Chain A
Amino acid sequence: GQQLNQSPQSMFIQEGEDVSMNCTSSSIFNTWLWYKQDPGEGPVLLIALYKAGELTSNGRLTAQFGITRKDSFLNISASIPSDVGIYFCAGQKAPEYGNKLVFGAGTILRVKS
């Protein structure tokens, strides 16, 4: 089952608002990645984080690798309608634990009507 806890499960956005979501784990990860998935498509890589404390931006997106290596957050500034979708965090443990990504259950972003 899932080992990463993502919150919130879903949220409504209004154009121009800033959005925050986070991901926590009971165990340490070496790498954190954030993906976005649109309906009927595969996840698209947004940001990869490799070092505890690292803060990385990709356009309006900013993500941080928590210093405990057990959490990460993603911020979206000045949201636009195309930001709607499902956002997943994923973690990779040290190589001795196997080369796989562990995913959270996702945060669903919807447009506020």
Chain B
Amino acid sequence: DAGVTQSPTHLIKTRGQHVTLRCSPISGHKSVSWYQQVLGQGPQFIFQYYEKEERGRGNFPDRFSARQFPNYSSELNVNALLLGDSALYLCASSLALDRFSYEQYFGPGTRLTVT
């Protein structure tokens, strides 16, 4: 079975531009979460979606938005890019939200570089 897939793999953008990152969860998984990982740190939670509804939001500005589609895939959008948005953006999927279905499986990430 395919794991979590993300596209694109790498992306270079200029300050002020916007970017859309895409994620397809493991087949059968209904929840998708997004994390930002800056070099040398652990992942930081951005959003969680379950059944197309936002179920959690981390401490990120409104420039960050996301959505989940009926097929459970998800998009993360970032507007007005800043240099500090350069990071590895990780998508994770889980079966559901109850405690024992909560194990999150990560994709390979999208490396975003803002110049």
Interface residues of A (CB under 8 A from B): 2, 4, 30-31, 33, 35, 40-45, 48, 50, 88, 90, 92, 95, 98-106
What is the chain A residue whose CB lies nearest that of B40? A105
Across the interface, B106 reaches (CB within 8 A) one of A30, A43, A92, namely: A43
A13 CB, min distance to chain B CBs, angstroms: 20
Instruction: Out of B50, B56, B97, B106, name the residue touching A42 (CB < 8 Å).
Output: B106
Total B residues in contact with A, Cβ cutoff 8 Å: 28
Give the total number of A-B pairs whose CB atoms are below 8 A apart.
69
Sample (17) of A-B pairs whose CB atoms are under 8 Å apart = A2-B42, A33-B104, A42-B90, A42-B108, A45-B103, A45-B106, A50-B100, A88-B43, A99-B31, A99-B102, A100-B45, A101-B35, A101-B43, A101-B45, A103-B42, A105-B42, A106-B41
Extra inter-chain contacts (9) besides given A99-B97, A100-B58, CB under 8 Å: A4-B42, A31-B102, A42-B107, A43-B90, A95-B99, A100-B45, A100-B56, A101-B92, A102-B45
How far does the alpha carbon of A92 sit from the alpha carbon of B101 in the complex, in Å?
A: 12
Contacts of A105 in B (CB 8 A): 40-42
> When the two chains form their complex, are residues B43 and A103 in contact, meaning their CB atoms are under 8 A apart?
yes
Shortest A9–chain B CB gap in Å is 10
B2–chain A nearest beta-carbon distance, Å: 14
Residues of A within 8 A of B41 (CB): 2, 105-106
Inter-chain contact A99/B106, CB cutoff 8 Å: no
